[in-house]
Amino acid sequence: MNPLIIANWKCNPETLEEAQELFFSIKEDIKNKDIVICPPSIFLPSLICEGVNFGAQNCFWEEKGAYTGEISPQMIKSIGCDYVIIGHSERRTIFHESNEDIKKKVRKAQMAGLIPVVCIGESEDQDTFEVIEEQIKDIGRDVILAYEPLWAIGTGENASLEKVKEVREFLKDRKVLYGGSVNSQNAKDYLEITDGLLIGGASLNAGEFIKIILCDI
Ligand code: PEP
């Protein structure tokens, strides 16, 4: 099975013009590959095109209704996305999403035909396996998991290969990606011990992102 590489642009770049520029500089290299681009949802309709996989960075758990500001899984699917990131640590910490919220989102995303990419991982003072156990409880097996220890996200302090191997082993036959300060220097090492990568910062630099994709070939 080919590894899956997911680009999480987070709340970047600032304008549609910049998003289009970034996208067009990687487009030919990511076409017809197991790569998923997750830009801010508002940019999705302007970027979606044949041959490229897209995802949203979050979704709500209802299909429609009086939920100002929310975007439903059905809406995401209807514009041509196949994936949705759920429970990113920034959603959990800044927006106080609970494991219960995340479970509801996963279920509704699946019902809408989206593949959920559920982010899991501990903070510096927590026990990895206790936290993960709780985060994956009742979440079902039909999801992609992204192990992203909080202390490794955007810090340049990526998790050790040993640690990622232990987590991979703990999650056994599930599909597990690694995320946390991945760059073109370390991507190959993580690809050898996981099913793929979730990339934040490095996905905003076209040259760096292309190098990461190429290191897999
Ligand atoms: C992320 O946002 O999921 C992430 C892994 O970020 P970074 O690659 O910047 O650490």
Instruction: Give the DSSP letter string of 25-77.
Output: HHHHHHTTSSEEEE--GGGHHHH--TT-EEEES---SSSSSS-TT---HHHHH
148 is catalytic: yes
88 is catalytic: yes
Q: If we measure between CA atoms, which residue out of 155, 172, 167 comes closest to residue 120?
A: 167
Task: Name the residue of 4, 8, 89 whose CB sits within 8 Å of the most ligand 1 atoms, as the mutation to test its pocket.
Answer: 8
| The pLDDT of residue 216 | 57
Task: Name the residue of 12, 94, 153 whose CB sits within 8 Å of the most ligand 1 atoms, as the mutation to test its pocket.
Answer: 153
| The pLDDT of residue 213 | 94
Output the residue whose Cα is nearest ligand 1's atom 1.
200
| The pLDDT of residue 215 | 83
Instruction: Give me ligand 1 centre to Cα 103, in Å.
Output: 22
The verdict on the CB of residue 179 being under 6 Å from ligand 1 is: yes
| The pLDDT of residue 163 | 97
Q: Quick one: tokens of 38?
A: 């997750």
| The pLDDT of residue 1 | 77
Residues of the chain with pLDDT under 70: 216-217
Q: If we measure between CA atoms, which residue out of 127, 106, 211 comes closest to residue 170?
A: 127
**Kind of pairing, strands 83-86 and 144-147?**
unpaired
- Its sign, for the CA torsion 110, 74, 88, 99, is negative
The verdict on the CB of residue 182 being under 6 Å from ligand 1 is: yes
What mean pLDDT is reported for the chain?
96
Task: Name the residue of 148, 164, 194 whose CB sits within 8 Å of the most ligand 1 atoms, as the mutation to test its pocket.
Answer: 148
The verdict on the CB of residue 87 being under 6 Å from ligand 1 is: no
Instruction: Give me ligand 1 centre to Cα 66, in Å.
Output: 32
